[in-house]
């Protein structure tokens, strides 16, 4: 039953600490390699480097919900949410990109 999980590559659950800047302050975040890989995938789909994606996400969640008590846990759950709702994320990105491509009134194509 658990063989599928028990045989996974140990490198995927090895912890990695990465340096990031949040509000101009250097800090570090420790996550398992699989979560970093998923965050890199999300950032790529968002069209930005991972560091910018993490900083933007931090700013947005702080604006919407106030202080984030455990940002590393938030990032892990973000990965799970993304994996469970990939089609929703894809639709959001496509809609946002369509809006960005629309010509501004008075501009010629």
End-to-end CA distance of the chain: give it in Å, rounded. Answer: 58
What whole-number distance in Å separates Cα of residue 109 and Cα of residue 102?
9
Q: What is the pLDDT of residue 1?
A: 66
User: What is the chain's pLDDT, residue by residue, as a tens digit (109 residues)?
Assistant: 688 889 999 999 999 999 999 888 999 999 999 999 999 999 999 999 999 999 999 999 999 999 888 999 999 999 999 999 999 999 988 888 888 787 766 666 5
Q: Which CATH architecture has domain 10-101?
A: Orthogonal Bundle (1.10)
DSSP 54-80: HHHHHHHHHHHHS--S-HHHHHHHHHH
């Amino acid at each position: 039953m658990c063989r599928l999980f028990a045989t996974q590559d140990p490198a995927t659950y090895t912890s990695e600490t990465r340096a990031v800047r949040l509000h101009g302050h250097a800090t570090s975040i420790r996550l398992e390699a699989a979560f970093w890989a998923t965050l890199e995938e999300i950032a790529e789909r968002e069209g930005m480097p991972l560091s910018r994606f993490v900083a933007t996400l931090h700013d947005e969640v702080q604006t919407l919900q106030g202080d984030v008590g455990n940002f590393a846990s938030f990032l892990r759950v973000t990965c799970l949410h993304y994996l469970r709702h990939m089609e929703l994320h894809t639709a959001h990105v496509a809609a946002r990109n369509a809006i960005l491509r629309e010509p501004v009134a008075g501009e010629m194509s």
